[in-house]
Structure 1
Amino acid sequence: MTLANKVIVLDFETTGLSPNNADRAIEIGAVKLIDGEIVDSFQELMNPGRSVNSFIENYTGITNAMLKEADSCEAVMTRFANFIEDFNLVAHNASFDKKFLDAEFEHCQQQYSGQFACSLLLSRRISQDAPNHKLGTLVEYHQLPNDGVFHRALADATMTAHLWNHQLQLLQQQLPHKAITFELINQISKRPKAQVSGYLQSL
């Protein structure tokens, strides 16, 4: 049993949508969350070995000039592997970040032992009244702390960490006598939305 309040919350900025199309990471941002507190952070740009297009430059604010000065993906991701240790991992739209983490770790022969959870999937189940489940919308909907910066990895990871803490609090209010474990989060996240309320009442 692993409590859900000890996690690494991460976010990638990338050259495109999929490593299957030879896209690479250009920035990793992550925070280490223990008992609701951010105790450490990791943020580095990384050089993917080729230029990024103007859309990515405008979307992220990360320019080719910035990436030219950065270390290689392999060097940065090797350092990130040490940062992760054996923690479980959280991301908003985790399927995207997991694909890139797996692909970048394969490039540098690294691995991780933790499991992934997705704050977006969880939001769809426990915050069904939200207008949508984009990170920026949820930050505003739940009135969470933010510095107004979006689409940079550490800023997005930090906002996701605040969202994750809020989600754990919402669940703890509904389940006051139950430990909120990482396994429970993933059980909730897999259930059809219509079944979530009944499932929580059955616990």
Structure 2
Amino acid sequence: METIAILDFETTGLSPTSGDRATEIAVLLVRNGQIVDRFQSLMNAGKHIPADVVRLTGITNEMISSAPRASKVMREAAMFVGKHSVIAHNASFDRRFWKAELEHVGSATEQRFACTMLAARRIYPHAPNHKLPTLADMLKLPKGGRAHRAMADAEMANHLLSRLQRDIACDYNLRRVNFDLIAQLQITTRAQVPALLQSLAARI
């Protein structure tokens, strides 16, 4: 029975190599399409949040000033995720911050990451774009709290993952669409996707 972690960060900017830090993290543990546990916390990394990012996320410097230290939050998050594989929307972004924040506390990461944005580009090429809110609107997925807050975005990514799994399974007569298949999709060209999925269906 596969359990995956669905991860989302909010941050002070786009790149940890430029000194940006995480301000919030949310993780869902999902087993057979059901959320079995949640982790969420603001985190204080001692980094000022620019005004444009405050407007985007609603996370203020005052909120961060009373939040737990980033080192504490990341140690707890790492224990929560354990060795589970991770899925995120625009996973290269979240993976960079996951790795960088863990490096700040002297912890290595061994997680495999897969990306719902890259998978959606292969399965929904007709979408206006492949941002998470756009896909949620197009596919009429449930929306929770404010966009650009970590838990709301993690929940939306989970709904997108479930829809991707359902559509792939139905369209290609596959019984199971697991993490490995999503990871394989993201490195397959769009033109090669039908052949890949048809070959997997033929093995059943």
Identity of counterpart residues, as a percentage?
43
Q: Distance in 1 between matches of 2:163 and 2:157?
A: 10
The correspondence for 1:176, drawn from 170, 173, 176, is 173
Q: 2:162 matched to 1:162?
A: no
Give the structure 2 partner of residue 30 of structure 1. Answer: 27
How big is the shift at 1:179? 3.4
Alignment of 1:23-102 (within 5 A): 23-102=20-99
- CA contact 1:81–1:111 (8 Å) conserved in 2: no
Contact 2:24-2:43 at 8 Å conserved across structures: yes
1:121-152: CA deviations, max 9, x gaps? Answer: 00000111222111001111111111252000
The one-letter code sitting in structure 1 at the alignment partner of 2:37 is: D
Q: CA deviation at 1:176?
A: 2.9
CA root-mean-square deviation: 1.5
Q: d(CA) in 2 for partners of 1:50 and 1:118?
A: 27
1:198 aligned partner:
195
After alignment, is 32-41 or 105-114 more displaced?
105-114
Which consecutive residues of structure 2, in runs of 5 or more, have no partner in the other structure? none
TM-score with structure 2 setting the length: 0.93
C-alpha distance in structure 2 between counterparts of 1:109 and 1:35, whole Å: 33
**TM-score by structure 1 length?**
0.93
Aligned residues: 200
Give the deviation of 1:12 after TM superposition: 0.5
Q: 2:101 is matched with which residue?
A: 104
Of 168-177 and 89-98, deviating more is 168-177
User: Structure 1: where are the runs of 5+ without partners?
Assistant: none
SS at match of 1:10: strand
CA distance in 2, matches of 1:111, 1:181: 25
CA distance, structure 1, for counterparts of residue 36 and residue 141 of structure 2? 18
Kept after mapping to 2: 8 A contact 1:84/1:112: no
Where 1:75 maps in the other structure, the secondary structure is helix
Partner of 1:15: 12
Question: CA contact under 8 A between 1:85 and 1:112: conserved in structure 2?
Answer: no
Q: Is this contact kept in 1: 2:83–2:111, CA < 8 A?
A: yes
Question: Quick one: distance in 1 between partners of 2:155 and 2:145?
Answer: 12
> What SS does the aligned partner of 2:40 have?
strand
Kept in 2: contact 1:11–1:154 (CA 8 A)? yes
Q: Using the alignment, how far apart are the partners of 1:14 and 1:177 within structure 2?
A: 37
- Name the SS for the 1:100 alignment partner: helix
Flag the 1:193–1:82 CA change in 2: closer, same or farther, 3 A.
same
Q: Which moved more, 1:170-179 or 1:78-87?
A: 170-179
| Residue in structure 2 matched with residue 153 of structure 1 by the alignment | 150
- 1:80 Cα shift? 0.3
